Amino acid sequence: MAVSADDIEIFPPAATASTPSTGLAQRPATPVPPSSQRLRAAGSSLTSAATTVLLGALLPSLIFGLWWLTADRGWIAEQILPSPAFVWESLLIVLDTGELWGHVVFSAKRVAWSLLIGGSAGLVLGFGMGLSRTFKAYVFPTFDVLAQLPVLGWIPLLIIFVGIEEPLKVSAVSIAVVVPVALSTLNGIANIPSTLLEVGRVHRFTGWQTLTRIVLPAATPALFTGLRQGVMQAWLSVIFVELLSSSEGLGFLMAYSRSLSQIDMVIVAMFAIGVVGILIELGLRLIESRLQGWRRNAF
């Protein structure tokens, strides 16, 4: 007897994707919603950030607690170590009168001028030595020797040439900025992969295209490292110079308060120096993160 292919008892229909014959074994896994993934990642980031903040606040909390306990028990005379409450009152007074802000502005202006002068000179030297072997052969030995001198070593010579007024402070701080900026720029250019430069030669890049499309993007991390070091050197150096010879600025505030045995104002000035330094560092980090997108797009 002939068998028909249409007989469903002998030839049952094939299982389709919509009616799986194996039940749960072929059921597709339920994907995790993207929103859940984002929430999980955000929670992990918040936990990590909270842990970092707590660990970072541990040491300052211990120092503050020891300070408060020492002042409260009278272990050290108040003329030597004033209480936190007294320092806080002094801080509020100078903030209310605007005296502290005026000193911060004076110091910040000196740092800005020094960064403009010293940073520009450092970039010129760094790019010159990095892009030209001849220029490096003539300049680098002398630069390397002069870079070993601290800012204090330049003060007597600068007094002879520029006096003891504002040019002395700006010149000394500018010298402190030149060295880290120039060295970081030189190292950044020297560490550019040769393959990138070869790509530029293959595509017949001009000198300007090579500089803007290859050299600058590749050296950007080193440039910002030098800039951050230069800024911090400038901030520390301007305080040091103001301690020596100045009639305004946070360094002057510290020296003047110490001469009057106003230790509370010395601590206020120290606090202001630290806060401004942290704000500068955070600002540079923000600028660097914003420019990283430009660096990726430049290649």
CATH number for the domain that contains residue 280: 1.10.3720.10
pTM of the model as a whole: 0.73
Output the pLDDT for position 13. 52
Domain assignment present for residue 25? The answer is no
Domain assignment present for residue 165? The answer is yes
Higher-pLDDT residue of 261, 245: 261
Task: Domain count for the chain, please give it.
Answer: 1
C-alpha 145/C-alpha 161 separation (Å) is 21
> What's the burial of 216, exposed, middle or buried (CB within 10 Å: 0-12/13-18/19+)?
middle
Domain assignment present for residue 164? The answer is yes
Domain assignment present for residue 136? The answer is yes
The band of 17, judged by pLDDT with boundaries at 50, 70 and 90, is very low
Contact 131, 219 (CB under 8 A): no
Domain assignment present for residue 187? The answer is yes
In this prediction, residues 264-287 reach a mean pLDDT of 88
Tokens 């892009």 correspond to 131
Q: Is residue 202 predicted with pLDDT exceeding 50?
A: yes
Q: If you average pLDDT over every residue of the chain, what do you get?
A: 81
In this prediction, residues 169-190 reach a mean pLDDT of 91
Higher-pLDDT residue of 296, 237: 237
Domain assignment present for residue 57? The answer is no
C-alpha 50/C-alpha 13 separation (Å) is 61
Q: What is the residue range of 106's domain?
A: 84-298
Output the pLDDT for position 1. 45
C-alpha 165/C-alpha 104 separation (Å) is 18
The band of 36, judged by pLDDT with boundaries at 50, 70 and 90, is low
Output the pLDDT for position 137. 92
Q: Is residue 207 predicted with pLDDT exceeding 60?
A: yes
Domain assignment present for residue 66? The answer is no
In this prediction, residues 27-32 reach a mean pLDDT of 53
The pLDDT tens digits for 47-64 are 777 787 788 788 888 988
Among 102-116, 196-210, 283-297, the range scoring the smallest mean pLDDT is 283-297
Q: Is residue 175 predicted with pLDDT exceeding 70?
A: yes
C-alpha 242/C-alpha 150 separation (Å) is 16
Can you give the three-state secondary structure of the chain, one letter per residue?
CCCCCCCCCCCCCCCCCCCCCCHHHHCCCCCCCHHHHHHHHHHHHHHHHHHHHHHHHHHHHHHHHHHHHHHHHCCCCCCCCCCHHHHHHHHHHHHHHCHHHHHHHHHHHHHHHHHHHHHHHHHHHHHHHHHCHHHHHHHHHHHHHHCCCCHHHHHHHHHHHHCCCHHHHHHHHHHHHHHHHHHHHHHHHHCCCHHHHHHHHHCCCCHHHHHHHHHHHHHHHHHHHHHHHHHHHHHHHHHHHHHHCCCCCHHHHHHHHHHCCCHHHHHHHHHHHHHHHHHHHHHHHHHHHHHHHHHHHHC
Domain assignment present for residue 123? The answer is yes
In this prediction, residues 196-209 reach a mean pLDDT of 77
Among 9-18, 124-133, 185-194, the range scoring the smallest mean pLDDT is 9-18
The pLDDT tens digits for 72-113 are 888 888 888 888 889 999 999 999 998 999 999 999 999 999
The band of 27, judged by pLDDT with boundaries at 50, 70 and 90, is low
Output the pLDDT for position 122. 92
C-alpha 189/C-alpha 164 separation (Å) is 38
The pLDDT tens digits for 219-228 are 888 888 888 8
